[in-house]
Amino acid sequence: MIPSRLILNGRTIMKQNTLSFEKQLSDWCANTFATCFPDSDLSTFTLGVTPGKNEQFGDYQCEAAMKLSKKLRTNPRAIGQAFIDHAVLPGLIEKIEIAGPGFINIFLKNEGISIQLTDMLTDENLGLPNKGNNQTVLIDYSSPNIAKPMHIGHIRSTVIGNSIDRLYRALGYNVIADNHLGDWGTQFGLIILGYREFADHDALKTAPVEELERIYVESYNRSKEDGTWRDRAKAELVKLQQGDKENRALWATFIQLTLSEFNKIYKRLDVSFDLYRGESFYNDDLAKTVEKLEMAGLSEESDGALICNLEEDGLAVAIVRKSDGGYNYTTTDIATVASRTEEFSPAEIIYVTDERQQLHFKQFFHICKQLGIETKLTHIWFGLMRLPEATFSTREGNVIKLEALLDEAEARALEVVKASSPDMDETQQKEVARAVGIGAIKYTDLSQNPQSLVTFTWKKALAMDGNSAPYLQYAYARIASVRDKYATKFPGINPDEFPIKLTEEQERRLALKLIRFPSAVESAARLHRPSVMADYLYDLSQAYSSFYQNVPFLKAEQGPRESRIRLCTLTASVLKKGLSLLGIETPERI
């Protein structure tokens, strides 16, 4: 429970506190309700505050009176009145009132808001609480297949997973980012055979992954028509699995070639992993895993295969050992969880994949539980990306390579930069175009609910105005410019020696957005939804742009000028930090 003197004194002690401002207000509400109704158990209710949606209804609102109405057999307005009668107002609250059916509206004092702002300004973490407390969370994302180029379908797992990674780190979790590569499986028999028979070694040098894919596709097609080819491929696979030196070496080469290409893309996307443990890493655990299942009585024979029958639990049958004795992904994933749990003892393992794998994850999560693995397992899924006319398919030849997407983004951004900053030197123009182009791509993916259908269009992916990364980057760059101008025009004055005073409407609105930053980060992480963060940042930028355009600051007199410069500084810090949580850069000039 929060020591309410913290806000009763009108001052929070953010740096020593693990609670965001919004959480403190919420706790204050809950405590007040507890005082009002000491005889009732209210612990099952959420009695917190939410940011006000309409200024006339206050800065924060509490809807608890209506929710408690039934339990307390009292009408909501009477509950609200009891709340007001019992409430000891913290110093930063101006007033509270009941409105409508029973909303409790909370109005903050301007000085109260200013204190929050000042606290944020002096905290290098901008008020972010340490929620993780060094608990380990393992995040499994991106996870592309070896020997296939990444196309635009891969960007979502990579970018969304990376943002969740960043959000958790920012909240004090010890994150392990693990790229669970598809580096094992029947396709390698086909690739090895194809490589031996018809590899184009020049192409392997210039575009290795494309060539490997070509080899795979051609070999696959042959295996469908030619039984001999199929048998030979299978023989190569068996040799690989039995540890044949040559095949192992080839396999290792394929991985090396592919990874070096992937790493170029990861570098462009500013994504990095702590581990690159592919499926092969767990290969030796598979037999043991199946043994455990059998011992636990969780598996049974069926048509020559070994299965886990989950039909009683409303799930389909999962095969854990094929009739030819081979293992498949359910087994690998169970082994992976066991290994990760043993090695890292994570509080949670988070998987980020597309929607097609929902059933698979439900199945193996279920089996893990039956095996007694307590680790919290979470599957974050997102909708497949498709083209307006069809889904992607290598066979249709309508895939858009990730590399091409990034190139195009940078090229289009460069046009815009050249048009609006013709005086910038060319190196810098390119550098800005890179940050802006990549930012635009990422933002498009991160700013929407991942679970809805996504249709790829160039127009959408490369949006540069309106609700887009460049809009946020532009806001940031303008502030950077203001800061520089201030320093030149008023040398020797330290804005921090002036208090923050909120006199204009636009300043107050901006300030209210700023103090919500920590709770926005918490929500985004808790819901595993980077879009919550993106929404918040866009909201903040809109508030800033409106402030910027309508309130003079460099031209204001001393006092208000410094106060506003401090608001600008804090906005810049929040934008920079917030965008970094989306993996988006903030150039000082764009």
Nearer to RNA, 168 or 184 (CB): 184
Q: Find where tokens 């009695």 sit.
A: 47
Question: Which amino acid is residue 139, in one-letter code?
Answer: I
Rank residues 150 and 432 by Cβ distance to RNA and give the closer one.
432
Q: How far is the CB of 5 from RNA (least distance, A)?
A: 26
Closest-CA residue to 142 (of 193, 106, 177, 194): 177
Nearer Cβ to RNA (46/221): 46
Number of residues located near RNA, criterion CB under 7 A: 99
122 binds RNA (CB under 7 A): no
d(CA 311, CA 4): 51
Q: For RNA, which residue of 535, 560, 569, 580 counts as binding (CB under 7 A)?
A: 535
Residue 290 C-beta: closest distance to RNA, Å = 13
Token pair listed for 339 = 């290994």
DSSP secondary structure, 429-473, as one string? HHHHHHHHHHHHHHHHHHSS-TTS-EE--HHHHT--SSSSHHHHH
Residue of 147, 269, 319, 337 interacting with RNA (CB under 7 A): 319
User: Which range, of 60-68, 122-130, 160-168, 283-291, touches RNA by CB under 7 A?
Assistant: 60-68
Which has the closest alpha carbon to 258: 383, 410, 142?
A: 142
Q: Which of residues 217-276 bind RNA (CB under 7 A)?
A: none
Residue 558 found at the interface with RNA (CB under 7 A): no
x-or-dash string of contact with RNA, 1-40, rule CB under 7 A: ----------------------------------------
Please state the closest distance from residue 180 (CB atom) to RNA, in A: 8
Stretch that binds RNA, among 97-105, 207-215, 283-291, 339-347 (CB under 7 A): 97-105
What whole-number distance in Å separates Cα of residue 230 and Cα of residue 590? 56
Using H for helix, E for strand and C for coil, what is the string for 249-300?
HHHHHHHHHHHHHHHHHHHHHCCCCCECCCHHHHHHHHHHHHHHHHHCCCCE
**Nearest residue to 338 (alpha-carbon basis) of 296, 302, 381:** 296
User: What is the phi/psi pair of residue 38, to 5°?
Assistant: -65, -20
Asked if 322 interacts with RNA (CB under 7 A), we say: yes
Residue from 416, 514, 524, 540 touching RNA (CB under 7 A): that is 416
Two tokens, residue 483: 């800061």
Q: How far is the CB of 103 from RNA (least distance, A)?
A: 3
Output the CA–CA distances (angstroms, integers) from residue 161 to 56, 168, 379, 390, in the order listed. Answer: 39, 11, 11, 26
Beta strands in 84-178 (DSSP E): 93-99, 103-108, 136-140, 174-178
Interaction of residue 334 with RNA, rule CB under 7 A? no
Min separation Cβ 105 and RNA, Å:
5
Q: Considering only residues 85, 324, 389, 426, which one is a binding residue for RNA as defined by CB under 7 A? A: 324
Distance separating alpha carbons of residues 73 and 104, to the nearest angstrom = 18
Residue span binding RNA (CB under 7 A) among the ranges 78-86, 122-130, 246-254, 412-420: 412-420
Least distance (Å) between residue 583 CB and RNA? 18
Site string for RNA, 170-199 (x = CB under 7 A): ------------x--xxx------------
Q: In the set 16, 54, 242, 488, which binds RNA (CB under 7 A)? A: 54
Say whether residue 67 binds RNA (CB under 7 A).
yes
Q: How far is the CB of 527 from RNA (least distance, A)?
A: 8
Q: How far apart are CA 380 and CA 143, in angstroms?
A: 14
Q: Please work out, in degrees rounded to the nearest 5, the angle formed at the alpha carbon of residue 345 by the alpha carbons of 339 and 349.
A: 75
Nearer to RNA, 14 or 318 (CB): 318
CA 375 to chain centre: 21
149 binds RNA (CB under 7 A): no
99 binds RNA (CB under 7 A): yes
The CB-of-270 to RNA minimum distance in angstroms stands at 19
Binds RNA (CB under 7 A): choice among 11, 86, 234, 360: 360
The CA distance from 191 to 509, in Å, is 60
461-500 residues in contact with RNA (CB under 7 A) are 463-468, 470-471, 474, 477-478, 480-482, 485
Contacts of 336 (CB under 8 A, 6+ apart): 180, 279, 282
Please pick, from the candidates 14, 29, 66, 349, the single residue that binds RNA as defined by CB under 7 A.
66
Nearest to 21 by CA among 34, 33, 6: 6
Cα–Cα distance measured from residue 31 to residue 4, given in angstroms and rounded to the nearest whole number: 9
Q: Kindly tell me which residue out of 20, 69, 247, 573 binds RNA, with binding defined by CB under 7 A.
A: 69
- Which residues in 266-305 contact RNA (CB under 7 A)? 279, 302-305
Beta carbon nearer to RNA, 265 or 477: 477
307 interacts with RNA by CB under 7 A: yes
In angstroms, what is the minimal distance from the CB of 15 to RNA?
28
**133 or 186: CB nearest RNA:** 186
Please identify which residue in 35, 323, 394, 558 interacts with RNA, judged by CB under 7 A: 323
Q: How far is the CB of 9 from RNA (least distance, A)?
A: 27
CB environment 459-497: b (16+ within 10 A), e (fewer):
eebbbbeebbbbbbbbbbbbbbebbeebeeeeeeeebee
Contacting RNA (CB under 7 A), which of 23, 58, 335, 513? 58
Residues in the chain: 590
Based on the shown chain and the rule CB under 7 A, indicate whether residue 356 belongs to the binding site for RNA.
yes
Q: Should residue 569 be labelled a site residue for RNA when binding is judged by CB under 7 A?
A: no
**Which range in 116-124, 234-242, 265-273, 445-453 contacts RNA by CB under 7 A?**
445-453
In order, the DSSP letters of 320-340 are EE-TTS---HHHHHHHHHHHH
Tell me if 96 sits within 8 A of 64, measured CB to CB: no
Of 208 and 470, the one with the shorter C-beta distance to RNA is 470
Using CA atoms, how far residue 347 sits from 52, 68, 330, 336, 371, in Å, is: 34, 34, 22, 15, 17
Closer Cβ to RNA, 375 or 429, answer by number:
429
Task: Give the residue with the Cβ less far from RNA, 266 or 282.
Answer: 282
Q: DSSP labels for 558-588? A: TTHHHHHHHHHHHHHHHHHHHHHHTT----S
- 108 counts as binding RNA under rule CB under 7 A: no
